[in-house]
């Protein structure tokens, strides 16, 4: 449904789409994640946008946030900060398992 973090004033879920050659980033009312499923935010589709940064977000320095779910309540999470275009660690681990 939403989220928050001490490092930014606004924490929004966006979904990038193209409409007649124009990029749009609507804010969905929420994202359904069925039991046992996961989602992986990506910069060119579903992603989290933080604005009004209160401190620098630096590569290699994780930060905390909270995700708010309609039925599951609030879940505290740690974000890992990686370079632009980097493959997230979980994806690298998965890729190495599939030779």
| Percent with pLDDT over 70 in the chain | 79
If you average pLDDT over residues 30-40, what whole number do you get?
A: 82
| CATH T-level fold of 2-97 | Immunoglobulin-like (2.60.40)
Does residue 2 surpass a pLDDT of 90? no
The larger pLDDT score, comparing residue 94 to residue 19, is at: 19
Where would I find the beta strands (DSSP E) of the chain?
Answer: 2-4, 8-15, 17-19, 22-24, 46-53, 63-69, 73-79
Domains of the chain, residue spans: 2-97
Which ranges in the chain belong to alpha helices (H)? 89-97
| Percent with pLDDT over 90 in the chain | 24
If you average pLDDT over residues 12-24, what whole number do you get?
A: 80
How far, in Å, CA of 11 to CA of 21, rounded? 26
Q: Give the tens place of pLDDT for each residue, 83-92.
A: 766 666 554 4
């Amino acid at each position: 449904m939403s989220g928050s973090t001490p490092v930014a004033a606004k924490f929004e879920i966006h979904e990038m789409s193209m409409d007649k050659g124009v990029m749009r980033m609507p804010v969905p009312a929420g994202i359904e994640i069925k039991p046992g499923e996961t989602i992986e935010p990506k910069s060119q589709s579903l992603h989290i946008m933080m604005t009004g940064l209160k401190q620098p977000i630096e590569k290699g320095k994780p930060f905390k946030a909270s995700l708010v779910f309609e039925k599951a309540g609030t879940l505290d999470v740690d974000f890992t900060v990686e370079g632009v275009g980097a493959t997230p660690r979980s994806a690298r681990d998965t890729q190495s398992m599939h030779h």
